[in-house]
Chain A
Amino acid sequence: MGLEFDFGAEQPKLVMLLLGVVAFLAVVGVMLLLLDRAPMRSRSRLHAAILLAPALTLLTIGLVVPAVRTTLLSFMSGDSKTFVGLDNYVWMFSQPEALLTLRNTLLWVVLVPLLVTGIGLVYAVLVDRSRFEALAKSLVFMPMAISFVGAGIIWKFVYAYRPEDADQIGLLNQIVVWLGGEPRQWLQEPPLNNLFLIFVLVWIQAGFATVVLSAAIKGIPAEIVEAARLDGAGALQMFFRVTLPSIRPAVIVVLVTQAIGTLKLFDIVRTMTNGNFDTSVIAVDMYNNAFRFGETGKGAALAVFLFVLVAPIVWYQTRLRRRVQ
């Protein structure tokens, strides 16, 4: 095992970093210079053009034009040379492997928001005004900082499998063995493996729900809580009759935010099973078709379908925000 690390080889990267920072400073400098030079008395149109031009240019090159081109590509063949009409969409809704991907995505998008919101809500209520509230919340919140790839590895380790006669190194299989069961390859047995992947995202996101819902719970007027208590409401009644209705908008916000994030999920499946063993989802299939199998048309069609699924939810989310405001 060699250990000499060649730091010299890393130098060009640091030069590149320096260039990047210089580019940032140059952008800021040039913009400020232009703004200072443009007389204040001139039409605000000129100032607006200076302020907005860079951002609008990048958005056009990086998002608008590509989105239009992707839509066009979804009607083309794999090598993007022949027009094939709706073939790619027909494939998506008729081939067994594509249908499986759609089924898995549906499973994710139903389960993740419900579980995240449910667990986050229960936890937020339970630790509310307890002695260890701050600590308890940050423990659950911490996975939010971990990359999906890192979380994937953490849980792959929990699900690790060793044959029955060997010592288990994965916690889940060890618990199963302690309880007298047989160790299993959790990530390789469809359809259950999907649930084990789904739980990883729930584990990451529950902290988000806890923090948002906990803030909402603290916003419930004290008089309402006090009135309910005087009426002799028990803990459960309190939860269903007072807490839940009062924080309904926040609950919906969490559900909707989670639904959007889940639809686009890529990293966890890619890291843990790479879509094998019947675990693929739309974003993974999109990546594989467009960037590994050379099936640009199918990849583009999947991307367009993702857009069609996400767009109405985001639209609903913004309306929701405006109403909450």
Chain B
Amino acid sequence: MTHASPTTSAAARVRARLSTRAASLVALLIAVLWTTPTFGLLLSSFRPKDEIKSTGWWTFFADPNLTLENYQEVLFGTSSSSGRLASFLINSIVITIPSVLLPLALASFAAYGLAWLNFRGRDWIYIGIFALQIVPLQMALVPLLSFFSEGVSVAGIQLLPAWELGDTGRFAQVWFAHTCFALPFAVFLLHNFMAELPHELMEAARVDGATHGQIIRRVVLPLVAPALATFAIFQFLWVWNDLLVGLIFAGGTAESAPMTVRLAQMAGTRGDEWQRLTSGAFVSVIIPLVVFLSMQRYFVRGLLAGGIKG
């Protein structure tokens, strides 16, 4: 290499520069391809109805024309076709908050018990919960729905009554379903974090006469706060963006169905009303996007913990 002639090294330099050029071009192409569709949707949602339906959003730059009318109509319009999305937006909020809090609480207690208490069968219970992660939620849908609507009866004897929930009561079904489905991952994630806390810390707290309740409150939860945040943001995105569970357990009306269910309906039946679809889709996207961007650190940490370290 020391005797390389100047010409080859110059050629190599040219080639290297070309390859970085080509590389940058490919990277740029991917970045453009990944952002343009969302940008087109966002821009379209502010264009007047007639223009969305007759010309492409790229013509906007030749003839700029913006309005908020689409948002007004899709959120608050009262005609049956308008979307009434504000109502579904509230449903999504009502569904999401307890569906994040409940598994968080139950899994924290269970994970603590599995990580720091010694009792017979502990390992088997942990393996059992862990193994439940392999059950796709499709396996649970039909029987769980009949559990809500018909109760439990064995050999003709009614053991548990049906839930008999009308309208807003349906929210409880959705919370229940989301909580059950979230538990295996939540227990697994929190257990991993809790098990790594130093042994001496727990011993010291016990010697001081703290109860398990006090240890959880004062020692464990503050220390695993990042893990709690990680699970919370995963569960938030999962519940907020979920379609299947909402479709089955929340029904399809403005009384209890989440926004995703409404948007899927609109995309199906009025698939060409782009003024409502674009603004509606953007409304549903903006909240998780804000949460996601402000908490990206925790999200990436969870991704790496769940994706690589386990």
15 residue pairs bridging A and B, Cβ less than 8 Å apart? A5-B75, A9-B87, A13-B91, A27-B102, A62-B181, A62-B183, A63-B139, A127-B27, A139-B35, A146-B288, A147-B243, A149-B241, A169-B57, A264-B137, A267-B244
Q: Considering only CB atoms, which chain A residue lies closest to B100 in the complex?
A: A24
Selected interface stretch from A84-92, A99-107, A190-198, A315-323: A315-323
Q: Are A160 and B94 in contact (CB under 8 A)?
A: no
A interface bracket (residues with beta carbon within 8 Å of B): 35 or more
B308 touches A212 (CB 8 A): yes
A206 to B33, CA, bound (A): 12
Point out the residues of chain B lying under 8 angstroms from A15, CB to CB. 168
Q: Does the CB pair A58–B180 fall under 8 Å? A: yes
0 or 1 for each of B22-56: is its CB under 8 Å from A? (1 = yes):
01101100110011111011001000000011111
- The minimal Cβ–Cβ distance linking A243 to chain B, given in whole angstroms, is 13
Point out the residues of chain B lying under 8 angstroms from A306, CB to CB.
Answer: 136, 138-139
CA distance A71 to B136 in the complex (A): 13
Given A1-B82, A145-B289, A150-B281: A64 in contact with B132 (beta carbons within 8 A): yes
Asked whether A138 is an interface residue with its Cβ less than 8 Å from the other chain, the reply is yes
Q: Chain B: how many interface residues by the 8 Å CB criterion?
A: 131
Residue of A24, A51, A141 touching B102 (CB-CB under 8 A): A24
Q: Tell me the chain A residues, 76-117 only, with Cβ under 8 Å from chain B.
A: none
A73 touching B143 in the complex, CB below 8 Å, given contacts A1-B77, A147-B284: yes
Q: How far is the CA of A189 from the CA of B169 in the complex (A)?
A: 43
Tell whether, in the assembled complex, residue B267 and residue A271 are in contact, meaning their CB atoms are under 8 Å apart. Answer: yes
20 additional A-B pairs beyond A6-B78, A62-B177, A315-B134, beta carbons within 8 Å, are A12-B167, A20-B97, A27-B105, A51-B113, A55-B107, A119-B30, A122-B26, A136-B27, A145-B288, A147-B260, A149-B260, A153-B41, A153-B263, A169-B56, A171-B36, A234-B19, A249-B308, A266-B244, A290-B142, A291-B142
Contact in complex: B141, A67 (CB < 8 Å): no
B231 part of interface (Cβ distance < 8 Å): no
Q: Which of B101, B120, B147, B267 contacts A272 (CB 8 A)?
A: B267
Known: A66-B139, A307-B136. A158 touches B274 (CB 8 A): no
Q: Name which residue of chain B comes closest to A173, CB basis.
A: B56
With A171-B40, A232-B1 as contacts: A62 and B140 at CB distance below 8 Å: yes
| A227: Cβ under 8 A from any B Cβ | no
- Min CB distance A58 to B, Å, is 5
Q: Which residue of A lies closest to B260 (CB)?
A: A149
A54 touches B54 (CB 8 A): no
Q: Which of A10, A122, A270, A303 contacts B139 (CB 8 A)?
A: A303
Interface SS of chain B: helix, strand, loop or mixed?
helix
Residue A56 CB within 8 A of the other chain? yes
B contact residues around A287 at 8 Å (CB): 244, 247-248
**4 closest residue pairs by CB, A with B:** A62-B180, A321-B310, A51-B113, A20-B98
Q: Does A300 contact B (CB under 8 A)?
A: yes
Residues of chain B in range 118-136 having any CB-CB distance to chain A below 8 Å: 118-120, 122, 125, 129-130, 132-136
Nearest B residue to A45, CB-CB? B119
Q: Are A36 and B132 in contact (CB under 8 A)?
A: no
- Contact at A63–B180, with CB atoms within 8 Å? yes
Contacts of B105 in A (CB 8 A): 24, 27-28, 31
Bound-state Cα–Cα, A105 to B75, Å? 36
Digitize A13-36: 1 where CB-to-B-CB distance is under 8 Å, 0 elsewhere: 111110011011001100111011
In the complex, what's the smallest C-beta–C-beta distance from B247 to chain A, in angstroms?
8
Q: Is the CB of A303 within 8 A of B264?
A: no
- Judged by a CB distance under 8 angstroms, whether A304 is at the interface is yes
Residues of chain A within 8 A (CB-CB) of B113 are 47-48, 51-52
Interface positions of B from 77 to 99, Cβ below 8 Å from A = 77-79, 82, 84, 86-87, 90-91, 93-94, 97-98
Q: Chain A residue with minimal CB distance to B138?
A: A303
B109 at the interface (CB under 8 A from A): yes
Q: Which residues in B have their C-beta under 8 angstroms from that of A119? A: 30
Residues of A within 8 A of B167 (CB): 12
A157 touching B76, Cβ below 8 Å: no
Residues of A within 8 A of B300 (CB): 211
Pair A274/B243 contact, Cβ less than 8 Å: no
Shortest distance between the CB of B235 and any CB in chain A (Å): 13
Known interface pairs A40-B206, A126-B26, A145-B292. Does A167 touch B54 (Cβ–Cβ under 8 Å)? yes
